[in-house]
Amino acid sequence: MPSDEKKIMMVVAYDGSGFHGFQRQPEGLRTVQAELEKAVLGLTGVPSEVFGASRTDAGVHATGQTTHFATSSHIPADRMGRALRRFLPDDISIMNSESAPPEFHARHSARGKVYVYTIDRSPEPIPMSAKFAAHIGAPLDEKKMERAAELLVGTNDYSAFRNEGSSPADPVKTIRAIKISRYGPFMSITVTGKAFLYKMARNLAGTIVEAGRGRIDPEDIPGIIESKDRRLAGPTMPARGLCLVKVFYE
């Protein structure tokens, strides 16, 4: 990084409904990264690459996506987010901006992430939640879901929970905790992990839901993990229910 540049870290929130994921796409499709880079260019007049902690999929939301970019702008780091606001669309907000050390990298420096999957449990879908929750009106056995969540925690080869189409990656990951919560008509599945495979968070949620519906016996989960067979785990839940809420760096 040139000596006249500084590194800015920003926490970004976005409604993923109108984006083809976070990462810039060669086809010119609308992405969060492209919109952030457009905003930085509009403010500073200089192109800058904006890096994200998670390359969230199309339709996935965030309230705590961490990003960074380098700039020689004289705008103070803690005011950068506010300065960028007028260049951003309504479905992206910068929640915080601050100076970061030269060695910081939004993705490579991350030590963990928290995703929340939201389910609308009402008998009929609640219209206002349609963009942010997956509706499941069928009965769910919460005790079985909690048992499934318990058995999915650990350091394992999670190949059975990775979709095809991803770049090669070490399938051994650490899931630190999975918590099932209820609030009003909604249920949330909060997954905390060190790192995730392609669509892994949504596949973990799908497996827990299938346990709740009686289609997967929670006690079979260790065998599913050991099998490394994607066909034995639950389905990939819709993107709209998933939200990246926090990235850890310590």
CATH ID of 6-100, from 3.40.50.300, 3.40.640.10, 3.60.20.10, 3.30.70.580: 3.30.70.580
Q: What is the mean pLDDT of residues 175-202?
A: 96
Q: What's this model's pTM, rounded to 2 decimal places?
A: 0.95
User: pLDDT (tens digit, 9 = 90+) per residue, 19-69?
Assistant: 999 999 988 799 999 999 999 999 999 999 999 999 999 999 999 999 999
Q: What pLDDT does residue 164 have?
A: 83
Q: Catalytic residue at 57?
A: yes
Q: What is the mean pLDDT of residues 142-167?
A: 93
Burial category of 143 from C-beta neighbours within 10 Å (exposed 0-12, middle 13-18, buried 19 and up)? exposed
| DSSP assignment of 73-94 | --S-HHHHHHHHGGGS-TTEEE
Residue ranges per domain, the chain? 6-100, 112-248
Return the structure tokens found at 131: 């963009």
57, 120, 157, 170: the active-site residue: 57
Task: Please tell us whether the domain made up of 112-248 is placed in CATH 3.30.70.660.
Answer: yes
Q: Do domains 6-100 and 112-248 have the same CATH topology?
A: yes
Return the structure tokens found at 28: 């010119």
